[in-house]
């Protein structure tokens, strides 16, 4: 009886610990480090992997404080990787073929670019009528009294 229980325990452990054919066998990753032209690491860089092999077509990660990134759970296919950070030129790498569970190291060096801003003004200048202009004056009691007193002072 002990042998049967022991055999069942070993068989149960083998089922749980031996990988099966469809579980994480054909999933690859892409990893690397992003630096600038001086060799300093670049945290906060948006790294995007795009491929028809992805259901969402694009998978994105951001580099950590050490400038490192890792895009995981990628199926077999051809990928294009882009590295984007404000103030730097976008770097694109294409034709990266992933097969099996291979993890290539893809490092990038970002070059300083220009910061571009777009300002759109949508307003029209007011129309000024220079032919039919009129001067208007609003008089009230206080104003009329001041005018009367002014004329009374001017009389000689």
pLDDT one-digit tens code per residue, 15-41 = 455 554 444 456 899 999 999 999 999
pTM here?
0.59
Percent of the chain predicted with pLDDT > 70 = 58
Cβ(55)–Cβ(70) below 8 Å: no
Single out the residue of 57, 112, 103, 99 nearest to residue 80, CA to CA. 57
Q: Which two tokens stand for residue 12?
A: 């149960």
Give residue for tokens 């049967």.
Answer: 4
Q: What is the mean pLDDT of the chain?
A: 77
What is the average pLDDT across 33-52? 94
Residue 127 has pLDDT above 60, yes or no: yes
pLDDT in tens, 52-82: 988 899 999 999 999 999 999 998 989 999 9
In whole angstroms, give the CA distance from residue 83 to residue 61: 10
Q: How confident is the model at residue 122 (pLDDT cuts 50, 70, 90)?
A: low
Long-range contacts of 99-105 (CB under 8 A, 24+ apart): 99/28, 100/25, 100/26, 100/28, 100/76, 101/24, 101/25, 101/26, 101/27, 101/28, 102/28, 103/28, 103/29, 103/30, 103/31, 104/30, 104/31, 105/31, 105/32
Q: How confident is the model at residue 113 (pLDDT cuts 50, 70, 90)?
A: confident
* pLDDT given for residue 143 in this prediction: 59
């Amino acid at each position: 009886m002990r042998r049967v229980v022991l055999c069942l325990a070993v068989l149960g452990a083998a089922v749980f610990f031996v990988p099966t054919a469809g579980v994480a066998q054909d999933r690859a990753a892409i990893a690397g480090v992003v630096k600038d032209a001086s060799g300093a690491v670049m945290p906060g860089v948006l790294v995007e992997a795009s491929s028809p092999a992805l259901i969402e077509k694009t998978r994105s990660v951001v580099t950590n404080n050490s400038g490192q990134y890792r895009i995981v759970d990628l199926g077999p296919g051809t990928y294009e990787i882009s590295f984007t950070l404000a103030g730097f030129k976008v770097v694109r790498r294409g034709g990266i073929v992933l097969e099996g569970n291979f993890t290539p190291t893809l490092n990038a060096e970002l070059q300083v670019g220009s910061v571009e801003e777009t300002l759109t003004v949508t307003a029209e200048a007011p129309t000024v009528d220079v032919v039919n202009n009129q001067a208007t004056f609003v008089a009230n009691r206080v104003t009329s009294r001041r005018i009367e007193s002014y004329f009374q002072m001017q009389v000689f």
